[in-house]
Structure 1
Amino acid sequence: MCGIAGVWSPTAYRDDMAEIAERMAERMVHRGPDGWGAHLDPETGLGMVHTRLSIIGLDAGDQPIHDRDAGLILTANGEFYDYKRLRGLLRTDGYEFTTKSDSEIALKLYRKHGLDFVEHLRGEFAFVLFDEQKQRLILVRDRFGIRPLFYHAGEKGFFWGSEMKSMLAHPDVPREMCPKAQLHQMMQVMVPGMTLFEGIHALKPGHMLIVTRKGDGFDIEERRYWDAEFPLDGEHDELPDEEHIERVRAALVESIAFRLEADVPVACYLSGGIDSCSILGMAAAIQQSPVKAFTISFDDARYDEAAIATEMAQKVGADQDILIVKATDLYGENFEQAVYYSERTFYNTLGVAKMLMSRHVRDVGYKVVITGEGSDELFGGYAQFKADYFLHDPAHAGSAAGEEMKKRNAIFSGSVLAERQISHPAFEEVMGFTPSWIQPWMLVLERVRPLLSDAFREKLGDYDPIAAIAYSLDRSMLDGRHPLDKAQYSWIKTMLEGQILNWGGDRVDMANSLESRPAFLDHHVAELAMRIPPHVRIRDGVEKWVVREAMKHVLPEVLYKREKFAFMAPPAHTDKAKAAEIDKLIEKWLSSEEIAAHGIFDEAKLGASIEEYRKSDDHTQNTRKDIILNHAIALHAMDALF
């Protein structure tokens, strides 16, 4: 795990590039505190920067990595799994390696396969490869966007970075914020590829960007090399249950085994959910020795899963370490730091809690954890997916199961579950229905719009963020698919990368130089999961049925039978101490001076909304206002933090 950044500026290469490269590295030193390197070439106008977190090849993995015979240079962030087998095959073909790093296989695979080399890569990665002979730069991001990568194409060159803050260290990168993106962040959901800054784009998951020099400029081609492709409805793999179960189990064993490989100790994150418990159980079986397990415990029993996590740890003999996160821990400077590292706003302070956990894990001495993200996305785990399954699968027409499920999850009303049905014509056109997962955020948008200033509304014009999200989805991946597959696909393309893997994953883990490895998001596991019929993913109202059965032998009975429980931090209104802490942030970042300086909100309307929030005891509406306040505070803080 590392940080990468750079610039290709053939006609405007700066004399002070060495100093700029050092500043770019400093901005992302948290991603790689074990050393940094750079390749600076005024002749080609190329500057490539790398900060290193040493995981594999501790003494021989410095970057950039050169293949001088072919004129290739690489900087990589992340891990390539199964690299030892690939190195052996490449050696047989006559390719020689100069390092022990897993990253070097990308150079040799590129030499052998050209641009098709990405199909042979397995893991979590974002990297940049420069081909001097062809005068082209290739940016690649892993299939789900586990590792971040941003870019900007400007008049003075092409710029990139693992984090936008490293790019903004270069004086030729613009730093103006985009009003449309600010609106998207206020309602939580971003358009794929969009960032908070004008002209800075996120490379989309499963994509590569090919930047070729053409005279004094560049030809830029975006190419998708992988997508979460579900089969047409009725064309899933109809197999005996036991075969589905065994295939899932075998795929997960292989994925976890790969992610246990490192030249440093590997631990596990452990919540009270099936996914992280399954990971821990399998890791313990594979490793055949106690595994270190880290658990977050909240000071609110309604949201705390530590007791179930402890039962799992005891079952497999894990060495459990519980971090108790209190109300005061989730706000103040910790909240601001989470915004800084995430480079976006967030609706819930879970990201703050995870940042505190990553700090604790590093303090204890670990650099790598295996995590459970991705299981819900692939196996139909979220309550929102079940809602659509019950609503739109003809086999469940008239069923009351969806409403009963919502009642059991009433505590999440106002956040991840909408209290009433709402639709949008763009989603009806693209998907045939408005997915349940976006409906709560549409209700947030309803509450946000009246709070905006006239000047900000004028900047937005008639922009419709919901339509922009809907029309960003590839219709060819939705047409003819089962409703559950449509719901999962639309979430994978938006919320998985923009939320789960961002402020819930890489960005808050790497804030403290901790590499997280989500075993369920191995693309071999994913391709298997997407071919499993919907009725096997969700069986008789039981979400992730096939995963439960595959992991039944390692799970405690209480967890095996437990319904999915959304893992999030208690909202501010649920506790007087939290309310007092968010009030301090409101006073600091939503003052009259701040509101006037940023021009996003109407001061009177926002103030009235805050006062109403303080006096109300409506859980659903207060949860929604908690969300709006989190976003508003973060948007105002962003300018100062950057």
Structure 2
Amino acid sequence: MCGITGWVAFEADLTRERPVIDAMTETMACRGPDDGGVWLARRAAIGHRRLAVIDVEGGRQPMTARTGVGEVVLTYSGEAYNFTELREELRRAGHVFSTRSDTEVVLRAYLEWGHEMVHRLNGMYAFAVWDGRVERLLLVRDRLGVKPLYYARTDDGVVFGSEPKALLANPLVRREVGADGLREIFAVVRTPGAAVWSGMREVRPGHTVLVDRDGPVERAYWRLEAAEHRDGREATVATVRELLADAVRRQLTSDVPRCSLLSGGLDSSVVTAMAAAELRGLERVRTFEVDFLGQEDNFVPDNMRGTADSPFAREVASHVGTDHHHIVLDPGDLLDPEVRRAAVVARDVPVGWGELDSSLYLLFRGVREKSTVALSGESADEVFGGYGWFHDPAIVATPVFPWLIVTGDHALGSMLHPDIEAKLRVEEFRADSYADAVAEVPVLPGESGEELRMRRMLHICLTRWLQVMLDRKDRMSMAVGLEVRVPFCDHRLVEYVFNTPWALKSFDGREKSLLRAASAGLLPESVLRRRKSPYPSTQDPAYSAGVQAWARRVLDDPSSPVRDLVGIDTLRPLLDARPAELPWGPRVALERVIDLDIWFDVYRPSITL
């Protein structure tokens, strides 16, 4: 995994701008701690920071190919899991390879097939190709949006990068946030293509951006389509198992230490079991789980989590035979100013969830001490319909993004200063966003009733909520130089399951029926029967008290720019509540106060309304 960046200018000489492209590239050092490089020409400056995973010695970037009429340059982040097959196909077509890296395969694929090569890739990736033969830039993002990629227009070209911080290092990009950006921060609605920062866009999943002298043109090369499902239950279960096992097998490819994230839930457990089966006789899979000091002994079931993770994680580790590691966090560490700052800087915008970001950052930091690549069960709930909201008829029937109902994140919109809320009209924005999301849903002719409602719910979660989850995992992992792979985001699996009727997805009356059936024989019965449990959160009231104290300091500071955005009178009851009685959703509103304060201090954004 890596960090990429670049600058294309059709009316300037970028060979004179080495300090700027160096600065842009250096912002990606966390994503690529192993190596860095810059390529310069008059019209293009390309930067790369490398996390060496495949062909450690030979995969340096930016990677170039010389032709008779100009150089073709690639800066690449991610993994193409089918690079071995593609390399053989390209060899038969006459290409000669000098490395074992998937990066060279992607470059050669472009030389052979041009931008149509995107249809041949299986993986998670974000990359840019500067084609000096025609002076044109191609930006590409993977189908599900596992890896990020941003760009911004300039007067005579574009700048781009894996994260906004790379673009912000260029003096042509303003540190400005307008009304649309603030809506993204407070509405908890992830608009495809939006980037919070004014003038900046995120390349949408499954899209390319082609940039020439006429400007950028964004095109979709992949989207979910509705198709008739013809397989019966047994064939469907077998296909799901086959597709997932193949995804896990491909995603185990690595020349550096690898591991699996294991919570003891169904999703991470089946990925771990399949990885162990694939590597049996070669190596023992290393697994990691996270918990909080004293929480296993003092766990109290609540409306989100019915059971503690640790007993189930240990049972799976024993059943499968992994080298298991238990990372225990002190809730006080979640309030460490340096940890909170690192989490906000990793995102570049204050859209995180406080302790959930901090604890994930600390977990990944611990994992990185022993492994460079980790497999994760992320996205199974979006693909198979695992969240509770899929199984609540009232929520399914409500024309609102379901996570706003379940998580209480609506509190973020209500925390705004009344004057700001009047300008942003967050509820209206959410309603319009929901209508836009529904309008994109593909349907079969004559599809109606429950199948239509559930297809709509699944599509919204795959195109909106999944981006929230993948973005969090990418930022927190890459902030410590850890590559996290997500087998459930294999586009072949996603396409197949998306078109499986809801009656099959829930054939036994439980969530993720198909995945449970496909996991049979691989896992302990206790894990197969376990109800969905979200990523763990501390139950220590001392943590809530610490959040209240920190937020109070921010809001009591007359010089804090946060006071201009939020309604202090609205937040006062949360500041004064008993810590043990402060619900998670409202607490997130106080966490957002803290993140905003850090963001203003680090980024110094100008707010324009």
Distance 1:636 1:67, change over 3 A: same
Distance 1:81 1:451, change over 3 A: closer
Gap regions ≥5 residues in structure 1:
393-422, 424-432
**Which residue identity does 1:67 align to in structure 2?**
A
Residue 181 of structure 1 contacts residue 190 of structure 1 at CA under 8 Å; is this kept in 2?
Answer: no
Q: Which residue of 2 aligns with 1:419?
A: none
Residue 349 of structure 1 contacts residue 569 of structure 1 at CA under 8 Å; is this kept in 2?
Answer: yes
| Structure 1 residue 528 corresponds to structure 2 residue 496 | yes
Q: CA deviation at 1:227?
A: 1.3
What is the CA RMSD across the aligned residues, in angstroms? 2.3
Q: Which residue of 2 aligns with 1:125?
A: 125
1:4-51 CA distance string (max 9 Å, x none)? 01111122446752112221122110101111001111x22x110000
Q: Report percent identity of matched pairs.
A: 29
Q: Which residue of 1 aligns with 2:343?
A: 338
Q: Which residue of 2 aligns with 1:283?
A: 275
Q: Which residue of 1 aligns with 2:217?
A: 221
Distance 1:252 1:448, change over 3 A: closer
Residue 191 of structure 1 contacts residue 468 of structure 1 at CA under 8 Å; is this kept in 2?
Answer: no
**Which residue identity does 1:473 align to in structure 2?**
A
Q: Which residue of 1 aligns with 2:607?
A: none
| Structure 1 residue 469 corresponds to structure 2 residue 474 | no
**Which residue identity does 1:178 align to in structure 2?**
G
Residue 230 of structure 1 contacts residue 485 of structure 1 at CA under 8 Å; is this kept in 2?
Answer: no
1:566 is aligned, of 527, 534, 548, to: 534
Q: Which residue of 2 aligns with 1:315?
A: 319
| Structure 1 residue 501 corresponds to structure 2 residue 497 | no
1:535-572 CA distance string (max 9 Å, x none)? 121123211111111111111111111121222423xx
Q: Which residue of 1 aligns with 2:606?
A: none
Following superposition of structure 1 onto structure 2, how do residues 491-640 of structure 1 map, counting pairs within 5 Å? 491-497=461-467, 499-503=468-472, 505-570=473-538, 574-596=539-561, 599-606=564-571, 608-612=572-576, 614-615=577-578, 622-640=583-601
Following superposition of structure 1 onto structure 2, how do residues 372-521 of structure 1 map, counting pairs within 5 Å? 372-388=377-393, 423=398, 433-440=399-406, 444-445=409-410, 448-449=413-414, 451-454=416-419, 456-457=420-421, 459-460=423-424, 464-473=428-437, 475-479=439-443, 480=447, 482-497=452-467, 499-503=468-472, 505-521=473-489
Following superposition of structure 1 onto structure 2, how do residues 140-219 of structure 1 map, counting pairs within 5 Å? 140-155=140-155, 157-213=157-213, 218-219=214-215
Q: CA deviation at 1:76?
A: 0.4
Q: How many residues align?
A: 581
Q: Which residue of 2 aligns with 1:369?
A: 374
Residue 188 of structure 1 contacts residue 347 of structure 1 at CA under 8 Å; is this kept in 2?
Answer: no
**Which residue identity does 2:28 align to in structure 1?**
M
Residue 416 of structure 2 contacts residue 566 of structure 2 at CA under 8 Å; is this kept in 1?
Answer: yes
Distance 1:463 1:526, change over 3 A: closer
Residue 65 of structure 1 contacts residue 74 of structure 1 at CA under 8 Å; is this kept in 2?
Answer: yes
**Which residue identity does 1:542 align to in structure 2?**
R
**Which residue identity does 1:260 align to in structure 2?**
L
Give the whole-Å Cα distance in 1 for the aligned partners of 2:255 and 2:463: 33
Residue 74 of structure 1 contacts residue 129 of structure 1 at CA under 8 Å; is this kept in 2?
Answer: yes
**Which residue identity does 1:576 align to in structure 2?**
P
Residue 39 of structure 1 contacts residue 48 of structure 1 at CA under 8 Å; is this kept in 2?
Answer: yes
2:362 is aligned, of 356, 360, 367, to: 356
Q: Which residue of 1 aligns with 2:291?
A: 297
Q: Which residue of 2 aligns with 1:403?
A: none
Which secondary structure does the structure 2 equivalent of 1:500 belong to?
helix
Residue 274 of structure 1 contacts residue 559 of structure 1 at CA under 8 Å; is this kept in 2?
Answer: yes
Q: Which residue of 1 aligns with 2:3?
A: 3
Q: CA deviation at 1:440?
A: 4.2
Gap regions ≥5 residues in structure 2:
604-609
| Structure 1 residue 63 corresponds to structure 2 residue 61 | yes
Give the whole-Å Cα distance in 2 for the aligned partners of 1:263 and 1:26: 25
Distance 1:133 1:388, change over 3 A: farther
What TM-score, normalized by structure 2, do the two folds share?
Answer: 0.90
Residue 412 of structure 2 contacts residue 588 of structure 2 at CA under 8 Å; is this kept in 1?
Answer: no
Q: CA deviation at 1:444?
A: 4.0
Distance 1:513 1:434, change over 3 A: same
Residue 186 of structure 1 contacts residue 631 of structure 1 at CA under 8 Å; is this kept in 2?
Answer: no
**Which residue identity does 2:564 align to in structure 1?**
G
Which secondary structure does the structure 2 equivalent of 1:569 belong to?
coil
Runs of 4+ in 1 over 6 A off after TM superposition: none
Give the whole-Å Cα distance in 2 for the aligned partners of 1:460 and 1:476: 24
Give the whole-Å Cα distance in 2 for the aligned partners of 1:118 and 1:387: 38
Which secondary structure does the structure 1 equivalent of 2:107 belong to?
helix
Give the whole-Å Cα distance in 1 for the aligned partners of 2:170 and 2:311: 48
Give the whole-Å Cα distance in 1 for the aligned partners of 2:561 and 2:477: 34
**Which residue identity does 1:532 align to in structure 2?**
T
Which secondary structure does the structure 2 equivalent of 1:290 belong to?
coil
Residue 574 of structure 2 contacts residue 587 of structure 2 at CA under 8 Å; is this kept in 1?
Answer: no
Which secondary structure does the structure 2 equivalent of 1:62 belong to?
coil
Distance 1:81 1:174, change over 3 A: same
